[in-house]
Amino acid sequence: MNPKEDKPKEPPGFEEPPHPWHDVPLAQWNDWRWQLRHRLNTLDELGRILKLAPEEEAGISAQNHFRIDVTPYFAALMDPDDPTCPIRRQVIPTARELDGFEAAMVDSLGEDAHSPVPGLVHRYPDRVLMLVTTLCASYCRYCTRSRIVGGKAARFGRAHYDAQIDYIASNPAVRDVLISGGDPLVLATPVLEDLLQRLRAIPHVEVVRIGTRTPIFLPQRIDDELVEMLKRYHPLWMNIHVNHPKELTPAARQACARLADAGIPLGCQSVLLAGVNDCPNVMKDLVHALLQTRVRPYYLYQCDMVPGAGHFRTPVSRGIEIIEALRGHTSGFAVPTYVIDAPGGGGKVPVAPQYLISQSPGRTVVRNFEGFITTYTEPTCYEPHDASRCPACQRKRDEGGQEGVASLLAGERVAIAPEGFVQSHQRLTRIRWRPIKQALTIEEEGE
Ligand SMILES: *Cc1c(COP(=O)(O)O)cnc(C)c1O
């Protein structure tokens, strides 16, 4: 997408308020608090700027729907005449949102079960997800946290932050903290700064990341005051959320440029959505536009199995096909990792096309993106890494050794068995069992 070629009528953002907000003074249009105060959420307000389809009217009028709110800035990007507009689909509900589907789960990722304190998800050994607000600038219809986001019931505040930070401070294994929500950048700058300051004061917290969609929903939020504050808390990383190239307006690009200029590495987490970006060519346009904006495509998520998102889901094969169309065909760092966030709480699992065709002890056969098949001849003189003389391996052993499948490769255990496996296989009397964490270890007799 070359912004010079297909210039939109009036780029919304920092230059001039678009129709029907042309009477709004520019200073107000560019004030993020004005944008939040003037969000659209009723049938009446949305009907004034969009020619609503009956399906949309039914979705907006439904009882107990997931919160609707759209910033005027983002609403101005919608095609008023086309209900299939990819911008519109992301934030305007339709009646299909009410359809149930097999296997839908309110907490699809099992986050609540991994919460040692409210709003803190400790799923991986060395990093935690910190939910600091349930509010967003606009609400994505496929929200994976719609069970808490947008609601008035579970707001997070000072008392929660204290408990979350205490937990992190008392767990030296946590070296990476993800600040998320909701959208952390809807918090007032001093509140956010207080959080960053307190996290930075914990010596074992090496990296802090912020997950936000404000550069896309509310680029006005990325003002000088915010950016000046953020850059005092490096190393600070940020992941934004973009699903379609139309979201990368001049204003959004300018917001990202300010963040990148402040030394904040930017990544993008996209969600694969039917009718929005389930197309290899749209995705290629998106990743190219992201690179031009200095944003590295990080993850492409398979849509979670949450209520309301059923009609956005695609077969997994669609995602594989998209990665097939990207890898090799474009810059390596334009290709995101396609992941399924494991239902039930397994964390993110990468899924990818197969490039390894076959193997023998001497050779590995691989194929490339063009279908060219070739052989890598394995070395015959490889001297295996000597873990007993490696300081990094020594340190890992002192910390208790490898976990998961890596522990099998390290020879630290022989098998990992699901819970209940021992009880249902009592006939294996010659194997002694010892539980390690949640998995089990099989040890050979006499060890
Ligand atoms: C996504 C996620 C993380 C971070 O995962 P990365 O692969 O390191 O980006 C951490 N905790 C939870 C609960 C997550 O969902």
Comparing 154 with 301, which gets the higher pLDDT?
301
Residue 42 has pLDDT above 90, yes or no: yes
Residue 3 has pLDDT above 50, yes or no: no
Annotate 177-196 with DSSP letters as a single string. EEEESS-GGGS-HHHHHHHH
Q: Is ligand 1 within 6 A of the CB of residue 121?
A: yes
The residues spanned by each domain of the chain are 1-351, 401-444
Residue 114 Cα: closest atom of ligand 1 = 13
Q: Average pLDDT in the 388-392 region?
A: 95
The answer to which of 18-32, 249-263, 368-382 has the lowest mean pLDDT is 18-32
The confidence band for 245, taking pLDDT boundaries of 50, 70 and 90, is very high
Q: Is ligand 1 within 6 A of the CB of residue 129?
A: yes
Mean pLDDT for all residues in the chain: 92
Residue 121 has pLDDT above 90, yes or no: yes
**pLDDT for res 446:** 38
Q: Of 334, 347, 436, 438, which Cα lies nearest the Cα of 122? A: 347
Residue 431 has pLDDT above 70, yes or no: no
The confidence band for 316, taking pLDDT boundaries of 50, 70 and 90, is very high
**pLDDT for res 14:** 65
The confidence band for 433, taking pLDDT boundaries of 50, 70 and 90, is low
Compute CA 446 distance to the chain's CA centroid, rounded to the nearest angstrom.
47
Peptide bond into 182 cis (omega under 30): yes
Q: Of 126, 284, 140, 104, which Cα lies nearest the Cα of 216? A: 140
Distance in Å, CA 174 to ligand 1 centroid:
12
**pLDDT for res 10:** 40
Q: Is ligand 1 within 6 A of the CB of residue 136?
A: no
**Sign of the CA dihedral with 130 first, then 136, 137, and 139 last:** positive
Mutate to test the pocket of ligand 1, among 178, 209, 301 (most ligand atoms within 8 A of CB): 178
Comparing 426 with 312, which gets the higher pLDDT?
312
Q: Average pLDDT in the 7-35 region?
A: 79
Instruction: List all residues 6 or more positions away from 159 whose beta carbon is below 8 Å from its beta carbon.
Output: none
The one-character DSSP state at 362 is S
pTM of the model: 0.91
Comparing 236 with 154, which gets the higher pLDDT?
236
**pLDDT for res 166:** 98
**pLDDT for res 151:** 82
**pLDDT for res 342:** 93
**pLDDT for res 59:** 97
The Cα–Cα gap between 74 and 273 comes to: 18
**C-beta separation of 309 from 90 below 8 A:** no
- Residue closest by Cα to atom 2 of ligand 1: 129
Q: Of 171, 179, 176, which Cα lies nearest the Cα of 196? A: 179
**C-beta separation of 272 from 106 below 8 A:** no
Q: Average pLDDT in the 89-95 region?
A: 98
Q: Average pLDDT in the 83-91 region?
A: 98
The Cα–Cα gap between 70 and 62 comes to: 17
Q: Phi and psi at residue 16, in whole multiples of 5°?
A: -160, 135
Peptide bond into 267 cis (omega under 30): no
**pLDDT for res 430:** 52
Degrees to nearest 5, angle at CA 107 with 316 and 204: 95
Comparing 19 with 119, which gets the higher pLDDT?
119
Residue 354 has pLDDT above 60, yes or no: yes
Architecture of domain 1-351: Alpha-Beta Barrel (3.20)
Q: Of 447, 116, 391, which Cα lies nearest the Cα of 399? A: 391
Q: Average pLDDT in the 313-323 region?
A: 98
**pLDDT for res 447:** 35
**pLDDT for res 425:** 76
The Cα–Cα gap between 35 and 236 comes to: 26
**pLDDT for res 13:** 58
The confidence band for 5, taking pLDDT boundaries of 50, 70 and 90, is very low
- Residue closest by Cα to atom 14 of ligand 1: 129
- Residue closest by Cα to atom 6 of ligand 1: 348
Residue 72 has pLDDT above 80, yes or no: yes
**pLDDT for res 422:** 79
The neighbour count for residue 31, using CB atoms within 10 Å, is 17
The confidence band for 420, taking pLDDT boundaries of 50, 70 and 90, is confident
Residue 273 has pLDDT above 70, yes or no: yes
Q: Identify the burial level of 436 via C-beta atoms within 10 angstroms of its C-beta, where 0-12 means exposed, 13-18 middle and 19 or more buried.
A: middle
Q: Is ligand 1 within 6 A of the CB of residue 127?
A: yes
**pLDDT for res 154:** 65
**pLDDT for res 434:** 55
Instruction: List all residues 6 or more positions away from 282 whose beta carbon is below 8 Å from its beta carbon.
Output: 86, 244, 245
Q: Is ligand 1 within 6 A of the CB of residue 122?
A: no
- The secondary element (H helix, E strand) that includes residue 48 is helix 43-49
Residue 438 has pLDDT above 70, yes or no: no
